[in-house]
């Protein structure tokens, strides 16, 4: 990509009103105007010049444009700047791009020539990032480092930008740490960006470079003589981290139904012999697996080991059928050992634990002949008075 600047100065002794000077330019056949990049600047202001609807996007071709502001006398200078892309210069043996233009004022025509040496600057940039989840790369780009437990889904993004002024072909992205290799189809224009992605999971701590290479080319895909491939690289990675935790909810409800009514409430009140069921609902609230899960409630004589590996978010319910013999409120305690997806212990993590309380209240019936309510066999003697 190239930026051209045309300077026009009034060297006369009188101001020239806006619209009095015509500025025209014909682009070289080997370049294309970048739409909406023409800026007109003067001491009195600056404005962008839009497409003039002449059939091409370039406002200065054909009849050109007129001066947008007053030309001040004795050196008042206006500048017109714009950008072009070099499409194809392989047949320019003089290794330069030539633009011819003119400035007209009244009956005066002043030709000018813009000559640009073809010193191409081919460059490319890659940005490797990573984020949690799989969404068909909709959330690209991410960050330089993502953390999570083993098995956490992640997406790697590889954003490639052509930061030079040539086209690039055979753009290839490779990341040996991820065994990733992908080629971009077609040409990557100056300033253009393409994004590649790879969906993976965190398995080990991993950080490495993604590297991009591209070959400078003309718009028709022909390689530019004398220019070798361009390259760039950028790192990103993942790190395993864990947050292990466990939760127990102890509840109780009246009756025996093989724990079908779990969960219950915090308390049941009833007479001696009343049937009740205790529920112990254990949930893995962390992001590790849990082995050696044990539930203890000494007051109820419960000590149970669960021969399972409890996955993150998984819940298991243990029931205990009993009867009310006395008022009892006790703590149930659960413990578990954090492990990775393979069942191996995680260094630096001890057991996780939690506890919860529930219980029963015994109701005692009134003692025989106690209380205030008369029963069969009880009587009171009443006195009767007769008035005469």
Best CATH choice for the domain 246-362 from the list 2.60.40.10, 3.40.50.720, 2.60.120.200, 3.30.460.80: 2.60.40.10
Q: Which two tokens stand for residue 276?
A: 């009740």
Query: Considering only CA atoms, which of 125, 155, 120 is closest in space to residue 238?
Result: 155
Task: Report if pTM > 0.75.
Answer: no
Question: Closest Cα partner for 189 from 261, 85, 58, 71?
Answer: 85
The per-residue pLDDT for range 345-373, each reduced to its tens digit, is 888 889 999 999 999 999 987 664 455 54
Identify whether the C-beta of residue 286 lies closer than 8 Å to the C-beta of residue 242: yes
Task: State residue 299's pLDDT score.
Answer: 95
- Residue keyed to tokens 């002043």: 110
Beta carbons within 8 Å of 346's beta carbon, 6+ residues apart: 242, 244, 288, 338, 339, 340
Topology of the domain comprising 2-117? Immunoglobulin-like (2.60.40)
Three-class SS of residue 259? coil
Contact 95, 117 (CB under 8 A): yes
Beta strands 230-240 and 145-148 are parallel
| Nearest Cα to Cα of residue 360 among 322, 333, 334 | 322
Residue 54 DSSP symbol: S
CATH fold label, 125-240: Immunoglobulin-like (2.60.40)
Residue whose pair of structure tokens reads 């398995």 in the numeric block: 203
Provide Rg for the chain, Cα atoms: 42
Q: What is the pLDDT along the chain (388 residues), one digit of tens a residue?
A: 678 889 999 888 899 999 999 999 988 887 888 888 999 999 999 999 987 777 678 898 888 899 999 999 887 899 999 988 877 655 544 467 788 999 999 888 999 887 777 677 899 999 999 999 999 999 999 999 999 888 899 999 999 999 998 899 999 999 999 999 999 889 999 999 999 999 999 989 999 999 999 999 988 888 888 889 999 999 999 998 889 999 999 999 999 999 999 999 999 999 999 999 999 999 999 999 999 999 999 999 999 999 899 999 999 999 999 999 999 999 999 999 999 878 888 888 899 999 999 999 999 876 644 555 444 334 344 343 333 3
* Domains 2-117 and 125-240 equal at CATH topology level: yes
Rounded Cα–Cα distance for residues 264 and 282 (Å):
14
- CB neighbourhood size of 382 (10 A): 5
Longest dimension (CA), the chain: 153
Tokens standing for residue 52:
């003039």
Instruction: Give pLDDT tens digits for 292-340.
Output: 999 999 999 999 999 899 999 999 999 999 999 999 999 999 999 999 8
Residues 138 and 151 sit within 8 Å (Cβ to Cβ): no
pLDDT (0 to 100) of residue 89 = 56
What is d(CA 335, CA 343) in angstroms, rounded to the nearest whole number? Answer: 16
d(CA 165, CA 264): 72
In angstroms, rounded to a whole number, what is the distance separating the alpha carbons of residues 174 and 164? 20
Strand segments, DSSP code E, in 16-138 are 22-26, 31-33, 39-42, 45-48, 65-66, 76-86, 96-105, 108-117, 125-132
The domain ranges of the chain are 2-117, 125-240, 246-362
């Amino acid at each position: 990509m190239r930026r051209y600047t045309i300077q026009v100065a009034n060297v006369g002794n009188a101001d020239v009103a806006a619209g009095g000077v015509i500025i025209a330019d014909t682009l070289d056949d080997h370049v294309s105007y970048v739409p909406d990049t023409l800026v007109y600047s003067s001491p009195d202001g600056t404005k962008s010049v839009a497409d003039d609807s002449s059939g091409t996007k370039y406002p200065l071709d054909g009849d050109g444009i007129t001066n947008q502001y007053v030309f001040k006398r004795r050196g008042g200078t206006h500048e017109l700047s714009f950008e072009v892309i070099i499409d194809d210069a392989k047949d320019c043996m003089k290794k330069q791009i030539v633009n011819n233009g003119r400035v007209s004022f009244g009956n005066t025509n002043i030709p000018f020539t813009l000559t640009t040496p073809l010193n191409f600057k081919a460059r490319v940039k890659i940005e490797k990032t990573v984020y949690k989840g799989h969404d068909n790369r909709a959330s690209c780009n991410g960050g330089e480092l993502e953390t999570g437990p083993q098995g956490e889904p992640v997406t790697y993004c590889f954003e490639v930008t052509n930061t030079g002024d040539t086209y690039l072909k055979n753009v290839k992205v490779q990341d040996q740490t991820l065994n990733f290799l992908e080629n971009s189809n077609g040409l990557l224009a100056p300033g253009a960006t393409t994004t590649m992605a790879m969906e993976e999971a965190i398995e080990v701590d991993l950080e490495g470079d993604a590297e991009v290479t591209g070959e400078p080319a003309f718009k028709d895909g022909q390689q530019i003589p004398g220019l070798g491939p361009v390259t760039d690289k950028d790192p990103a990675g993942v790190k395993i981290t864990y947050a292990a935790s466990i939760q127990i909810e102890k509840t109780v409800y009246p009756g025996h139904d093989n724990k079908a009514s779990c969960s219950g409430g915090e308390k049941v009140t009833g007479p001696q012999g009343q049937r009740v069921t205790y529920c112990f609902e254990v949930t893995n609230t962390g992001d590790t697996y849990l082995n050696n899960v044990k539930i203890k409630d000494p007051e109820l004589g419960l000590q149970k080991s669960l021969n399972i590996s409890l996955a993150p978010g998984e819940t298991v319910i243990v029931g205990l059928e009993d009867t009310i013999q006395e008022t009892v409120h006790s703590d149930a305690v659960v413990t578990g050992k954090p492990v990775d997806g393979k069942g191996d212990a995680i260094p630096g993590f001890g057991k996780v634990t939690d506890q919860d309380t529930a219980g029963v209240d015994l109701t005692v019936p009134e003692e025989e002949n106690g209380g205030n309510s008369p029963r069969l066999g009880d009587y009171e003697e009443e006195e009767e008075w007769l008035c005469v």
